[in-house]
Amino acid sequence: MATTRKKKTTGGAGAPKAGKKAPGKSPSKSTTLPRTYSTVVRHLLDRTNYERLRVVKYDEKTFKLDRMRKLLKKLGNPQDNIRCIHVAGTVGKGSTCSMISNMLQHCGYTVGAYTSPHLVEVTERLAINNEPIGQSAFTSLMREVIQAADQADRNATYFELLTAAALKYFADQAVDMALMEVGLGGRLDSTNVITPELTVITTIDLDHMHILGSTVEAIAAEKAGIMKPGVPCYSVPQIPAVTAVLREHAEKIDCPLYVIGEDIEFSNRIGMSDDLGAHTRVCVISETSQFMHLPVPLPGEHQASNCAAALSAVSHLKKTETDIDDGGIYRGLAETRISGRMQLVWNQPRIIVDGAHNPISLTTLMRSVGSHVPYDSMVCIFGCCEDKDVATMLDNLAIGGDKIIFTAAKGQPRAMDPHELNRIFMEQRGKSCQVASGIEEALEIAARAVSREDLICVTGSFYLAGETMAHLAKLKAKRQPVK
């Protein structure tokens, strides 16, 4: 029987009553709720934020799903009123969510997307049909969520508040489907309170090892935690050790697991056309569809498996959704774009930004730029967080960087000292690079070093990518050049 979709609404969060502020960096027993967008953002930043902490104890005492459930209960359990797709993985979550979202939108669906981190504004994390929530609506919504948190558990974290806000927003707006991207791991992530229509697991690799585990098997076990009994799970092709962990967990909890390339027929190849140039094409054959030689809309051969996962997820929904048709799938896929991934943000000189923040994503970036962007030489502006596998990232950076400038995102406690990055690179490569105090100085140095045919690539973290985009937006508004 076909599922009946809810009618779309335009209502937002209601006006909350005054409440108490949760303890943060400057705790107080009682205060009024933040009233403006800027004060709401400051309130959030005063909450415990594991994205910014150097040391995080990863266990059930720190990451409390019961605290999340209490908060959602105060908000009327909005998660029970929306249909969700849950997405976990080390890399590729954002790309996969974007492709699924666009395909469903072109089939007439209203689609919510909760993603992280943001590039410039925190409102980017809550979007409906690719439109971030407005600052005014976000302010009203967060006031209501903060008030509920003060009543449920005043220790609710930054990410928990935002997750609750996303679920409330999507329920209030009666979206037809909500894409919920895991923030960290999966098993203990605050998004793991939902019962989704299906789950998707993208490529699993070594990252956040100080939190999730020192082996890829341990990390896979944490991410497998989003699987639910009886809820189908689709995984991109994984290395055998990861696949074994996923299959063992799926069998243990009676979760139908479909690994692309093993349980679902999948192939990809490089294609060439006048309108697309060099690009990747995929073939995915499922129970409901045969997708043959579809162009992958995002650059990089690594996006083939993400595209296959997105197609498999939407194909699964076709079993019950009469509104989903192949024409809408093709159009939505073709029009998918994603901010902060190999994004050209300036033309003269050419500047691209990418939030590659771990070894595997940095490797794929360097290879993708080499395959898809013509240039004579490339200047890389690089900064990363100190809890990353820095040595491997620097080795991967050297694959494509002809000249490297190290810097750090401002206001990011986990940012690695650029002088230390330079020291490590000197030990590994035997050559010293330039160091800049911030992205403004780094861009000025890079701009003086490039010619018309050269390329500047800013990468290493979403924080640095977002800071770059914000700085260049200000220059564009003032019509000032990058000197």
- The DSSP bridge pattern shows strands 378-382 and 403-406 to be parallel
Amino acid 95: pLDDT = 95
Strands (E), 190-341: 198-201, 233-235, 257-259, 265-273, 277-285, 290-295
Alpha carbon 362 to its chain centroid, in Å, reads 15
- Average per-residue pLDDT for the chain: 90
Report which secondary-structure segment, H or E, holds 353.
strand 350-353
Amino acid 286: pLDDT = 87
Residue 9 has pLDDT above 60, yes or no: no
What is the third-level CATH fold of 37-334? UDP-N-acetylmuramoyl-L-alanine:D-glutamate ligase (3.40.1190)
- Tell me the CATH number for domain 343-477: 3.90.190.20
Amino acid 284: pLDDT = 96
Amino acid 173: pLDDT = 98
C-beta separation of 403 from 432 below 8 A: no
Strands (E), 357-437: 378-382, 403-406, 434-435
- Nearest 5°: the CA angle 437, 440, 446 is 95
Task: State the average pLDDT over residues 229-252.
Answer: 98
- Nearest 5°: the CA angle 6, 96, 470 is 100
Backbone angles phi and psi of 259, in degrees to 5:
-95, 120
Ramachandran sector of residue 277 (left: φ over 0; alpha: ψ -120 to 50; beta: rest): left
Closest by alpha carbon to 73, among 153, 162, 158, 178?
153
55 pLDDT band, cuts 50/70/90, is low
pTM of the model: 0.87
11 pLDDT band, cuts 50/70/90, is very low
Domain ranges of the chain: 37-334, 343-477
**Cα distances (Å, whole numbers) of residue 295 to 210, 282, 336, 436:** 38, 7, 11, 40
C-beta separation of 120 from 232 below 8 A: no
Residue 13 has pLDDT above 60, yes or no: no
pLDDT digits (tens, 9 = 90+) for 268-317: 998 777 677 778 999 999 888 899 999 999 988 889 999 999 999 999 99
- Judged by average pLDDT, the poorest of 21-25, 72-76, 261-265, 456-460 is 21-25
> How far is it, in rounded angstroms, from Cα 74 to Cα 435?
49
Amino acid 317: pLDDT = 96
pLDDT digits (tens, 9 = 90+) for 361-417: 999 899 889 888 889 999 999 999 988 889 999 999 998 899 999 999 997 888 999
Half-sphere exposure of 10 (CA within 13 A, CB side): 0
C-beta separation of 385 from 52 below 8 A: no
Amino acid 7: pLDDT = 44
- Judged by average pLDDT, the poorest of 74-88, 102-116, 221-235, 427-441 is 427-441
> How far is it, in rounded angstroms, from Cα 379 to Cα 400?
9
56 pLDDT band, cuts 50/70/90, is low
pLDDT digits (tens, 9 = 90+) for 81-121: 999 999 999 999 999 999 999 999 999 999 999 999 999 99
> How far is it, in rounded angstroms, from Cα 81 to Cα 65?
19
> How far is it, in rounded angstroms, from Cα 310 to Cα 103?
9
Task: State the average pLDDT over residues 144-148.
Answer: 97
Q: Higher pLDDT residue, 21 or 421?
A: 421
